């Protein structure tokens, strides 16, 4: 059984982030992690139960290297970890769980333990949104 944990992202008016990882039991005591009243929680992300090739825990909202998809130069594409319903095998099958939305790939895949072990967390969509900006948007 996987450990149930969450990562909370809060932001203040100076665009500084406050990040805390918490177990399910600690969520009830929000005063202990929320910081001061100037912090506003912007996201709650669940732990997938998986770790990347460096042993780093993978959470919703993380940006990871996609171990199975490459660009024209042979570099791993980046994907965003999400939770919910996704299509697998094109549009033929539906699944529910943690999945990877890879930039430049027109379908989603559930994240498997094998794929996670071959991937690497490189950031998250809250603190590093520039990682997921399409290169064509910058032309």
* pLDDT tens column, 57-112: 999 999 999 888 888 888 888 999 999 988 776 667 788 899 988 877 776 778 88
Looking at residue 107, the DSSP 8-state letter turns out to be S
Residue from 132, 138, 137, 135 nearest 63 by CA: 132
Higher pLDDT, 7 or 50: 50
pTM over 0.85: no
Q: Which ranges of 40-121 does DSSP label H, i.e. alpha helix?
A: 113-118
Length of the chain: 139
Among 18-32, 86-100, 106-120, the range scoring the smallest mean pLDDT is 18-32
**Residue 86: its pLDDT value, please?**
83
Place of tokens 């033929």: 92
CATH 1.10.10.10 fits 5-133, yes or no: no
Q: Provide the H-helix boundaries in the chain.
A: 31-34, 113-118
User: Cα dist. 87→48, 78, 82, 128, 135 in Å?
Assistant: 18, 18, 13, 26, 25
Lowest mean pLDDT among 45-54, 73-82, 126-135: 126-135
Is residue 129 pLDDT above 70, yes or no?
yes
How is residue 137 written in tokens? 């948007």
Task: Choose between 24 and 105: higher pLDDT.
Answer: 105
């Amino acid at each position: 059984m996987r450990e149930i944990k969450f990562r909370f992202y809060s932001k203040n008016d100076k665009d500084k982030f406050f990040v805390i990882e918490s177990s399910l039991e600690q969520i009830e005591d929000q005063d202990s992690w929320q910081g001061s009243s100037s912090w506003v929680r912007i996201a709650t992300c669940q732990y997938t139960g998986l770790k990347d090739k460096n042993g780093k825990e993978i959470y919703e909202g993380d940006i990871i290297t996609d171990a199975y998809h490459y660009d024209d130069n042979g570099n791993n594409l980046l994907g965003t970890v999400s939770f919910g319903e996704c299509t697998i095998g094109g549009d033929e099958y539906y699944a529910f769980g943690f999945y990877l939305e890879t930039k430049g790939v027109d379908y989603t895949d559930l994240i498997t333990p094998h794929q996670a072990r071959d991937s690497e967390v490189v950031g998250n969509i809250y603190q590093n949104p520039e990682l997921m900006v399409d290169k064509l948007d910058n032309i």
